[in-house]
A = this chain, B = another copy of it.
Amino acid sequence: MSNKQFSHLDSQGRARMVDVTDKSETRRQAVAGARLRMQPATLAMIRDNAHPKGDVLATARIAGIQAAKKTWDLIPLCHPLMLTGVKVEIEPEGDDCLVITALCKLKGVTGVEMEALTAASVAALTLYDMCKAVDRGMVIEQVCLLEKQGGRSGHFVRDAPGSDDD
């Protein structure tokens, strides 16, 4: 790691938006994940609601998609970009956890991992918001990059996603 650097800082440690003017467009995508750990009774309520007409999961999906589009505004040194596809999935895992997976796609000059991570985080926060009246002790865990394609850094796949904090 000796020759690596924080690309978002100049040689004097000052923040800047990295110059990508001369990079060429490629097809890019990233997948990020998050987990919301809760009491089993809370997950049971979400499941009950989820079936017929409840808006809990739909609201969180929408919030995640919209947050992906605002990543450039939330993360100060992110480049503005025009996402060409976003998908947020939320699935229960065991009896006390919701797993959020966010996929972002782009034909452009910068990667979209921050967009996928932001989508997953905000979807998790939205689920928290909708359930906090019944369970204040929920925890968002394991927000991380699962997979990334396109760009110079090549194909990244996280080893055994989620395994290291269970």
Partner of A15, one of B65, B69, B158, B164: B65
Interface readout for A97-126 with B: 1 if CB under 8 Å, 0 if not? Answer: 000000001110100011001100110111
A66 CB to nearest B CB, Å: 6
Q: Which of chain A's residues 21-70 have a Cβ closer than 8 Å to chain B?
A: 21-23, 27, 29, 34, 39, 41, 45, 49-59, 61-63, 65-67, 69-70
Interface readout for A145-159 with B: 1 if CB under 8 Å, 0 if not? Answer: 100100001001010
Cβ A129 vs Cβ B141 within 8 A: no
Listed A/B pairs (18) with beta-carbon separation below 8 Å? A1-B134, A6-B133, A6-B134, A9-B49, A9-B130, A13-B53, A14-B89, A21-B85, A23-B84, A52-B52, A69-B80, A74-B74, A77-B130, A80-B81, A117-B140, A124-B143, A139-B144, A141-B142
Q: Which residues of A contact B (CB under 8 A)?
A: 1, 4-10, 12-23, 27, 29, 34, 39, 41, 45, 49-59, 61-63, 65-67, 69-70, 72-89, 105-107, 109, 113-114, 117-118, 121-122, 124-126, 128-134, 136-145, 148, 153, 156, 158, 164-165
